[in-house]
Amino acid sequence: MSTFRRAWQLRPAKISVVILAAIVVLVAFGHLLAPMDPLQQHDGQILKGPSAHFWLGTDYLGRDVLSRLIYGSTLSVLTALEAVGIAFGLGVLPGLASVYLGRPFEWVSQRVMDGLMALPFIIFAIAVAALLGNGLHQAMFAVGVLMAPGFFRITRAAAWSFNRAQYVEAAQLLGASPWRIIRKHIWNKVLPTVAIATANHIAGALLIVSSLTFLGIGVVPPTPTWGGLLASDLNYLAQQRWAPVAPALLIMITVGALNVFADAIRDSSDDGALKDATKRRRLGESRNVATAR
């Protein structure tokens, strides 16, 4: 866990965590924080600008934009997490297992992942949604399946670097099972890499969710989502040129915070590896000097 402690010392990591914590609050308590019912239509308040009563104005049906934006956070973020959770389960565990369960499992798992990598995200999600019904959960299942190869390859590469470590070979000689080796000796080593991949994949899934809802796929109106709000606002740019700014900024800030957090973990991990390498080099130099004397 030293990588995460080092990451917390970085200012960008702290800022990104604060932003992500605010997003979590919106997701968890949005129904309590929204000042109005997101579906309520106010007569005579269509396409109104920001005011003391409507902080972000109203949309083309007279609904409060701020309330819809807050309510839309729950569905937008949770479905992105749903896709990443599916990808995590289908990618991380097989990625670890492919290193330690023998050549047959390794070959089969790699061929399956190679086949999934050839499928395009958006088109496949649209096809699954059309086949199983126009639901965001169906689309996110498809996205999660297609994200699994990314987790698989990253996890496999991280685990492979520890495959020939002395403590792993010692555990194998003592008769430890592959799952015990993974659980006791490998998982903590690959966790920072998996955390980086998870943050990046959540950002990517959020963009995909926004893209699908922008296209009107997966969500039935009038359910509010970030992408749906952005799409509806673009239809009325002549009346409200500022309207798309709020949902676009919320998407950009959330995705940016996730990427900054991932970069902070990556930088901390690299710093730790550099420090370990420096210590080993200095120890080797001191031993050489002592031998020469």
Which superfamily is assigned to 74-292 in CATH? MetI-like (1.10.3720.10)
Average pLDDT value over all residues in the chain: 85
Whether residue 135 is predicted with pLDDT greater than 80 in this model: the reply is: no
Contact 209, 224 (CB under 8 A): no
Residue with tokens 């330690």: 100
For residues 54-73, average pLDDT: 92
Give the pLDDT of residue 270. 56
Q: How far apart are CA 96 and CA 87, in angstroms?
A: 14
Q: Structure pTM?
A: 0.83
- 292, amino acid identity: A
More confident residue, 219 or 189: 189
Q: Which two tokens stand for residue 153?
A: 């390859």
Give the pLDDT of residue 81. 95
Give the pLDDT of residue 288. 42
Give the pLDDT of residue 71. 93
More confident residue, 40 or 132: 40
State the burial class of residue 211 (Cβ atoms within 10 Å of its Cβ: 0-12, 13-18, 19+): middle
> What's the CA dihedral at 40, 44, 45, 47 to 10 degrees?
110
For residues 20-30, average pLDDT: 94
String of DSSP letters for 201-265: HHHHHHHHHHHHHHTT-S--TT---HHHHHHHHHTTTTT-TTTTHHHHHHHHHHHHHHHHHHHHH
For residues 53-80, average pLDDT: 92
pLDDT in tens, 231-290: 888 888 888 888 889 999 999 999 999 999 999 988 887 544 434 433 444 444 444 434
Domain ranges of the chain: 74-292
- 15, amino acid identity: I
pLDDT in tens, 194-203: 999 999 999 9
Which 3 state secondary structure label does DSSP give 64?
strand
Using the 8-state DSSP alphabet, how is residue 133 labeled? -
pLDDT in tens, 151-180: 999 999 988 888 778 888 888 788 888 788
Give the pLDDT of residue 23. 95
